[in-house]
A and B are shown apart, each in its own frame.
Chain A
């Protein structure tokens, strides 16, 4: 509950600055309309291509960056990766039509902390942005299962490992329990469950980075 309270108090002082990289004008409009209704958010900047998105990173950092993966001049993954380095304090989330495993896992490995389904209602859009800004992360059962497999002890273990609690959270998720139910089952707050997920995503990003280096060394691409 602690981070949530901080968020609520700080939002009164300074609103959540949102940046958007999205080529679909309708979604741009929908998000602008939604943010207009939210007193605790402002839309800082909107880019509609990959190159604009990368240029945007030269400017002041946003609190939440929303990136569409399918941009007309390339993949939004590049923007996610660059933003993760250039705007280290920024929470990045990708917007996707289906939240399918392949796209979401790629984004998480590039440094995203969450994802947004494009058919979400305006209310849900706003709540997802707030939750992300407050340090929580959404997760689907299929993604949870995928991450569990990545961190399987039998697998080549490079870099970070999951804690027992994190492991437990993922297992509950694969069985269909909601974050509220998991919080009850584990006797922690709902928000704590969401921050577990955030930590898991961070470990996944580190793990994929070290694995890439390890792989490059193996193939002689790195000294």
Chain B
């Protein structure tokens, strides 16, 4: 489009219609395409800001206007405090009135005054600009648009006075109304597309922040919001829709939002690349720059003019910092997410550069280049959102690994604990086993000492005296073997069954009784179990009963022995009675007859009670065993 307009301009030049002082633009000759007015302007700089329309119309000041600009999309003077007067001569050589739109497409110019001649030759003044309310605009648009009517066969001189805190950039175009409206529609569609996308990303990430409480999403949302607002401030969209009636604010909005955007981007990057741990020194620098950006935003609000140039420097340095940190993390720290951050910032810079190059006419003006900011910003937002998604995935994978590791750790600890428990249980068992063995050994030692040992000793003494015949020696030895058998039987578990214990005793002693011709009457009744009947206690009972049988065989001169059991609520009684000659119980106890005293001591040791009744018709020994043994009873074995 631009090339065509330039070509047309060149044609105009060649056709020789140009005027020596001011290039005159023959409006109806132009087609539907917009024409850049740069080369048609003559320009006067007014550093004092005092000149009026009357002054510049006067011959003295009027002659200072300078023309001869190269064809370009815009007049550009950088940051200047001066006001600039632009003079333009338009001609309508046709027989029809012509309607045209003059657009100044740099929406952040602070003040623009437009002077157009009326029918009576006087000039009408229209004062607008970003620093005045939107309602002052003669045509509602994000850029400055001034409708012009050129009567048939006429030539007009119009003036523009421009003054701005932003760069002095005047991209002026002359539009045919139909073409302008078509351009306007396309332009608004593109803006709506951009802001729609930005709003969706902002809302989505805000929701993510609320849901996940990860501040990275918040910084992203702040960053995207500030970017969108900065762009809306730069392209006049904010002025048109968001803050139309503000004056000072709309003048500085772009700087404030630009600073906030960079501050948010720095904070976002800190979080994303975990710079506090990965690059601590750069992290401190990042914090300093966040502070600088915030200070700058405050400074611009106080004095927009003095902060314009430092602001540009600060933006550049911040961009370099972001790229440097990103590249360092990507290349040296192998952070893949940093690649995405660098790519995002690069795309944004590319968009900015494309716009710059377009402004310098090094690139053609087309949909891509004209919307460079928006496209760069949109790509940046998308890439950063993608970086967020990547990070989320990374965190989740890390979390899964952590959980797996934690599970493995738990399983391992559980295993170790189990092993420890098994080992300690094993140790306890061993200790218990050793204790049992030790107790059993003591018991056996005691029994060998008291039973077998003493029997064998007395047998030895008797045999040594040589007063025994073989049969008597055999009898002695049989007694020893019987002792041994009882000791062995006491080792067998009888499981609380006193009858079984007595049965065993009978089984052992019956052959000896038979050989003496004494009849045995077994008159036992079922009795309740005795829980305390362990091997030690069993042996005591066996020994007491054995002693009773021995006494009957040796001394009682009986023909019949009766064994009976009975039970009451508290105890079990074993009665061993004979029909022999009997004995004086009192005297036997006093004289300490060895058999009786042993029985007494054994009974005492197991918490039982033994009594005797004897008369001429026989003797009755009663062993009373408690059903429940009281704890704390002495466990000492009878000795000797």
Name B499's closest neighbour in chain A (CB-CB): A175
Given A142-B500, A175-B524, A176-B503: A121 and B488 within 8 A (CB)?
Answer: no
Q: Complex: how many Å from CA A176 to CA B524?
A: 8
| Whole-angstrom distance between the Cβ of A51 and the nearest chain B Cβ | 30
**Cβ–Cβ contact B511 & A140, under 8 A:** no
Query: Given the interface contacts A98-B488, A176-B503, does A119 sit within 8 Å of B478 by beta carbon?
Result: yes
Q: How far is the CA of A98 from the CA of B507 in the complex (A)?
A: 12
A41 within 8 A of partner (CB) = no
Q: CB distance A174 to B500 under 8 Å?
A: yes
B323 neighbours in A (Cβ, 8 Å): none
Interface residues on chain A, size class: 10 to 19
Contact flag A120-B503 (CB < 8 Å), given A98-B484, A176-B524, A178-B522: no
Taking CB atoms, residues of chain A closer than 8 Å to B484 are 98
* List of A residues within 8 angstroms of B503 by Cβ: 141, 173-177
Residues of B within 8 A of A120 (CB): 511
Shortest Cβ distance from residue B505 to the other chain A in the assembled complex, whole angstroms: 8
Q: How far is the CB of B581 from chain A (nearest CB, A)?
A: 27
How far apart sit A140 and B484, CA to CA, in the bound complex (Å)?
16
**A154: min CB distance to chain B, Å:** 15
Q: CB within 8 A of B485: which of A98, A124, A177, A178?
A: A98
* Whole-angstrom CA separation of A98 from B499 in the bound complex: 20
Contact A145 to B500, CB < 8 A, known contacts A100-B488, A176-B524, A178-B522:
yes
Residues in chain B near residue A119, CB distance under 8 A: 478, 481
Task: Return chain A residues, CB-CB under 8 Å to B489.
Answer: 142
Taken residue by residue from 45 to 72, chain A's Cβ proximity to chain B (1 for < 8 Å, 0 otherwise) reads as 0000000000000000000000000000
**Contact indicator per residue, chain B 501-520, by CB within 8 Å of chain A (1) or not (0):** 01110110011000100000
Name A's interface SS.
loop
A223 to B476 CA separation, bound complex (whole angstroms): 57
Q: B45: shortest Cβ distance to chain A, in Å?
A: 108
**Distance from A87 Cβ to chain B, minimum over Cβ atoms (Å):** 29
* Complex CA distance for A177 and B507, rounded to whole angstroms: 9
Contact A174 B497 (CB under 8 A): yes
CB proximity to B under 8 Å, residues A119-135: 119-121, 124
Contact call A176/B492, Cβ cutoff below 8 A: no
Nearest residue, chain B, Cβ from A101: B492
If the complex has contacts A119-B478, A181-B522, are A174 and B499 also in contact, measured as CB distance less than 8 A? yes
C-alpha spacing A99/B488, complex, angstroms = 10
Given contacts A119-B481, A141-B504, contact A176 B522 (CB under 8 A): yes
**Interface positions of A from 165 to 219, Cβ below 8 Å from B:** 173-178, 181
B484, B489, B524 — most chain A CB neighbours (10 Å):
B489
Kindly identify, within residues 137 to 174 of chain A, every residue whose CB is under 8 Å from any CB belonging to chain B: 140-142, 145, 173-174
Known contacts: A119-B478, A176-B522. The answer to whether A100 contacts B499 by CB under 8 A is no
**B binding-site residues for A, Cβ under 8 Å:** 478, 481, 484-485, 488-489, 492, 494, 497, 499-500, 502-504, 506-507, 510-511, 515, 522, 524, 526, 563
Having A174-B500, A176-B522, one finds 9 other A-B pairs with CB under 8 Å, namely A120-B511, A145-B494, A145-B500, A173-B503, A175-B499, A176-B507, A176-B524, A176-B563, A178-B506
List 12 A–B pairs whose Cβ atoms lie within 8 Å, in order of A's numbering.
A100-B492, A140-B507, A142-B492, A142-B504, A173-B503, A174-B503, A175-B499, A176-B503, A176-B507, A176-B522, A176-B563, A181-B522
